[in-house]
Amino acid sequence: MSDAFFQRACGLWQRLVSALEALQPAAQLAARIYLARVFFLSGLTKTRDWGTTVALFTDEYRVPLLPPEVAAVMGTGGELLLPLLLVPGLFGRFAALGLFILNAVAAISLPEISEAALQQHVFWGSLALGLLLWGPGRWSVDQWLQGRFTPAVRMAPARQGSLSS
pLDDT per residue as tens digits for the range 51-87: 999 999 999 888 888 999 999 999 999 999 999 999 9
Confidence of residue 164 (pLDDT cuts 50, 70, 90): very low
Q: Under a CB-based contact definition with an 8 Å cutoff, are residues 125 and 103 in contact?
A: yes
DSSP 81-116: HHHHHHTTTTTHHHHHHHHHHHHHHHHHH-SS--HH
pLDDT digits (tens, 9 = 90+) for 104-162: 999 998 878 999 999 999 999 999 999 999 999 999 999 999 988 877 655 555 555 54
Number of H helices, E strands in the chain: 7, 0
Q: Tell me the C-alpha distance between 137 and 62, whole Å.
A: 35
Long-range Cβ pairs for the range 63-71 (8 Å, 24+) = 63/105, 63/109, 64/108, 64/109
Q: Give this prediction's pTM.
A: 0.84
Q: Under a CB-based contact definition with an 8 Å cutoff, are residues 99 and 35 in contact?
A: yes
Helix (H, G, I), strand (E, B) or coil at 61: coil
The set of residues, in sequence order, having a beta carbon less than 8 Å from that of 77 and lying 6+ positions away, is 43
Q: Tell me the C-alpha distance between 87 and 32, whole Å.
A: 5
Q: Tell me the C-alpha distance between 117 and 28, whole Å.
A: 23
pLDDT of residue 159: 53
Helix (H, G, I), strand (E, B) or coil at 160: coil
Give the CA distances from residue 122 to residues 31, 87, 115, 159, in Å, rounded to whole numbers and listed in that order: 14, 20, 10, 51
The set of residues, in sequence order, having a beta carbon less than 8 Å from that of 57 and lying 6+ positions away, is 63, 68, 69, 71, 72, 75
